[in-house]
Structure 1
């Protein structure tokens, strides 16, 4: 596997989940937020769709950028660890999320793994970079 392939996988995580939020925000809210916390208004759909649009933008930037080993490492760490805390807090401490939010957790695990593996592969491919 090449670092370019891993970069495309990383981009796909953002593009796929972001597109889901953009196109089906009400479904996302119904599946990922516990019923007692759901708002299900046009405004809540807009917020979820905006979140999705930002994820798609991030995915597009990842797709068309050239990642260095440092980019993989920083993105892998900063693009996952804070979100692990977010998922943990709103699932276990202040239970707002349903088990469907484990998709987000899986995405964050993917981001971390792609970042770490991409760092190692990219270092081998570009020893001076």
Structure 2
């Protein structure tokens, strides 16, 4: 892969990650009741109230902030690697909620969140790899 191709792929992946985070965060912020109704089974949905809705809105606002930062920052290989590592607790939570004691609480839509977090993690690792290759190539050129 050539330098322009690497950088274009990183830019596209970064834009996709940032856009997805910002979009899903906006959904939580602007329409928390639909997020709750799609995410929780009826027995647990009955326990949701104004406070629950406020927490979903706060979570959405944080996700939007993260999406905007990821989508607009000059990311390095270290930044992308750090972001991928930061996805691990979310992937673990998805797994626990899907297979563990939380499986009675959530609907099967938890697997869409799981797939999204896998995409964010693996996509970030791929971008880190491409940027490391670019850095190594730049170093080789400097030595010549």
TM score, norm. by length of structure 2 = 0.81
Is residue 60 of structure 2 the alignment partner of residue 56 of structure 1? no
Question: Structure 1 residue aligned with 2:119, among 103, 110, 120?
Answer: 110
Deviation of 1:69 (Å):
0.7
Asked whether the equivalents of residues 7 and 62 of structure 1 are also in contact (C-alpha less than 8 Å), the reply is: yes
What whole-Å deviation, never above 9, does each CA across 1:55-94 have from its counterpart, x for those lacking one? 000001111211101111121122x211111111122212
Residue 82 of structure 1 aligns to a residue whose secondary structure is helix
The structure whose residues are more often helix, as a share, is: 2
What whole-Å deviation, never above 9, does each CA across 1:27-81 have from its counterpart, x for those lacking one? 1111111111123322211111110110000001111211101111121122x21
Is residue 33 of structure 2 the alignment partner of residue 26 of structure 1? yes
| Alignment length (residue pairs) | 128
Q: CA RMSD in A?
A: 1.6
State how far apart, in whole Å, the 1-side matches of 2:72 and 2:24 are: 18
State how far apart, in whole Å, the 2-side matches of 1:47 and 1:86 are: 17
Structure 2 residue runs of 5 or longer lacking an equivalent are 1-7, 140-144
Structure 1 residue runs of 5 or longer lacking an equivalent are none
Could you list the runs of 4 or more consecutive aligned residues of structure 1 that deviate by over 4 angstroms after TM superposition?
Answer: none
Residue 67 of structure 1 aligns to a residue whose secondary structure is coil
TM score, norm. by length of structure 1 = 0.90
Which residue number corresponds to residue 70 of structure 1? 78
Asked whether the equivalents of residues 10 and 62 of structure 1 are also in contact (C-alpha less than 8 Å), the reply is: yes
Greater C-alpha radius of gyration: 2
State how far apart, in whole Å, the 2-side matches of 1:116 and 1:48 are: 28
